[in-house]
Structure 1
Amino acid sequence: MWRETGFTSNGVCAIIPLTRLFTLEYCLWFDHFLPALDRLGAPVPLGGTSNIFRTDVLIEVGGWDPFNVTEDADLGLRLARRGYRTAVIDSTTFEEANCAFGNWIRQRTRWMKGFLQTWLVHRRDMKFSGWRGALSVDLFIGGTAFAALANPILWLLALLTAATDFAPQAGLPTWGEGALAAALAAGNIAFLALAAGAPLQRGLARLCPAALLVPFYWLMMSAAAWRALYQLATRPSYWEKTDHGLSVEAKARRAAALQSLGLE
């Protein structure tokens, strides 16, 4: 049960929980969130692969920031600041889902740290027009990191409220407490529903049940986010390399390629 591939060129996904959750996240981000930002005309934080640029524009905006560890997301916002639009095309780049916990934490720490860096840099001087720019920067860049940082604190408060006499909502009218509970339930159900529906566009309905494990994935993201916050203060430009080719299929492909070249 714990050995399989990641998201491969024939659409096969891993049967281990981590890679299933990774795949759900990628489907949600690249098939839904980023195309939605494109349709809104909002700044689009770029992904790390399969980006096509006009060379003159890339030179004009200064290329990639060598000090930002998510230089792709930062570049997407800098293009928007200069008045350029990023479009999402109907194309797929296949990715090996990270199948090792420590490797995943290192990779996600870098992503969270880069999002914090990008948010801090672009929030200093917002030159985006209208609410769409603020939506992209604050919700999808800063919000991603800040939600992960806040999540364990909010869960702890909820547990304390349920298990003890601790009552941060004291003083609210009854309807106010009910509204808070409804917002909590509706928000979590909505995110779980989004995660469950994300893979349907790719015909991966078998992954939908993995959405029930998303709360545990959020806890992992929170661990990476707090680690990222510490690194932002101590090693802001440190790049923790992600090991690739760890899945069974990736190793088999590498061995076959080396053998075909007479190198193994």
Structure 2
Amino acid sequence: MPHFRANILKNVGGWDPFNVTEDADLGLRLYRLGYRSDTLHYHTLEDAPTDLRIWTGQRVRWFKGWIQTWLVVMRQPLRLFKQMGWAGCLTFHLLIGGMLASALLHPLILLFFISTSITFSSQTVATIPHSMLALFALDTTNILGSYAVFLGLGVGSMIDHEKRMIGWRWAAVPMHWLMVSYAAWRAANELRTNPFFWKKTPHSPSKSESSDPTEVPAEALSRLEPVSVQ
């Protein structure tokens, strides 16, 4: 849950009430006007959606908001560059634009990988040009490496208790990305048909955790850091 000083929110004009991912809109607004924010590394005690319908609705809203944010910010690209600088602009496009592009295009990557594998399986290795084999090996490495980086980034931010709960679920990363792509395409369509619809996400408390909401793992408390917007 983000926390902001009221006077700073007034200085930046608040946030776009029509953007369904208000943290992305407000974060960029703050950065462009010279403010900086820190992250509070703390166990939130909020369970992520475990129901596919709820998870999909949440992701559709997020992607729709990120598309909205990118389109709004890019209305004046020169002004954006002056406010954020080349490093900030590059980070913005890699983080928001790259995330959108990777989600939308992911099925094409898998389609290419599968179709090429089928084509190669019907031929002998000697008849396949070395350049095509090298390119296929490079593409395969990139795909598997991307999954590994995605998994590593997620695991790196987890506490030990969360890491232990992953178990065999890491093998479902490719399926996860297909689900993400589905949500991204739905978001793109919903932006056209119902742009300001806000899909609320219910968070049901976990039944396996302690009933005491104040009981937080000690390892989470040890990662507590101050948060501020200045």
- Which residue, 112, 117, 124 being the options, matches 1:162? 117
Distance 1:226 1:55, change over 3 A: same
The count of residues paired between Structure 1 and Structure 2 equals 199
Q: Which residue of 1 aligns with 2:177?
A: 218
Q: Which residue of 2 aligns with 1:89?
A: 40
Shift of 1:245: 2.8
Distance 1:54 1:174, change over 3 A: same
Q: Deviations over 1:67-110 (max 9, x none)?
A: 10001111000000101111113434221220211111111100
Provide the TM-score with structure 2 as the length reference. Answer: 0.75
RMSD between superposed Cα atoms in Å: 2.8
After TM superposition, list the pairs within 5 Å mapping 1:153-192 onto structure 2: 153-164=108-119, 172=131, 175-192=134-151
Distance 1:64 1:108, change over 3 A: same
Q: Which amino acid aligns with 1:54?
A: R
Decide whether the 8 Å contact of 1:192 with 1:212 is kept in 2: no
Q: Unaligned 5+ residue runs, structure 2?
A: 123-128, 213-230
- Which residue, 231, 234, 238 being the options, matches 2:197? 238
State how far apart, in whole Å, the 1-side matches of 2:50 and 2:206 are: 7
State how far apart, in whole Å, the 1-side matches of 2:132 and 2:116 are: 16
State how far apart, in whole Å, the 2-side matches of 1:159 and 1:152 are: 11
SS of alignment partner, residue 236 of structure 1: coil
- Which residue, 184, 203, 206 being the options, matches 2:164? 206
Decide whether the 8 Å contact of 1:196 with 1:211 is kept in 2: no
Decide whether the 8 Å contact of 2:19 with 2:25 is kept in 1: yes
Q: Deviations over 1:137-176 (max 9, x none)?
A: 212222222211111121112111111379xxx9956544
- Which residue, 128, 132, 135 being the options, matches 2:88? 132
Q: Which residue of 2 aligns with 1:4?
A: none
State how far apart, in whole Å, the 2-side matches of 1:222 and 1:61 are: 33
Provide the TM-score with structure 1 as the length reference. Answer: 0.66
Q: Unaligned 5+ residue runs, structure 1?
A: 1-48, 254-264
Is 2:188 aligned against 1:229?
Answer: yes
Q: Which residue of 2 aligns with 1:38?
A: none
Distance 1:76 1:164, change over 3 A: same
State how far apart, in whole Å, the 2-side matches of 1:236 and 1:104 are: 19
Distance 1:171 1:70, change over 3 A: farther
State how far apart, in whole Å, the 2-side matches of 1:197 and 1:87 are: 18
Shift of 1:232: 1.0
Percentage identity across paired residues of the two chains: 38
